[in-house]
Amino acid sequence: MDDDRPDMAMLLKALADTPKRDNSAYHEAISQARRAFEEAEATLGGPVSVKIKTKTKRNGDYVVKWTFRSAT
């Protein structure tokens, strides 16, 4: 057996002990995006196309602007 290889049990324990990532902000953003598409389709009466503009503000905020248009 090669002594330079890390012990698999030690690697798995280290992986299990790492803190879990908080994905709640990501899930909330995806939920808002889905609602925005649903509302745009309801308002425009069918399928929509979307144009996306992004920018990072000086204070570090990441801004995403979505413009929905009727796809038909």
pTM: 0.63
From the DSSP assignment, how many helices (H) and strands (E) are in the chain?
2, 2
pLDDT above 60: residue 62: yes
**Predicted local distance difference test score (pLDDT) of residue 3:** 59
**Predicted local distance difference test score (pLDDT) of residue 45:** 94
**Residues paired with 54 in a beta bridge:** 64
**Predicted local distance difference test score (pLDDT) of residue 5:** 66
Is 69 within 8 Å of 48 (Cβ atoms)?
yes
**Predicted local distance difference test score (pLDDT) of residue 70:** 95
Tens-digit pLDDT profile for residues 4-58: 666 778 878 887 888 888 889 989 999 999 999 999 999 999 999 999 999 999 9
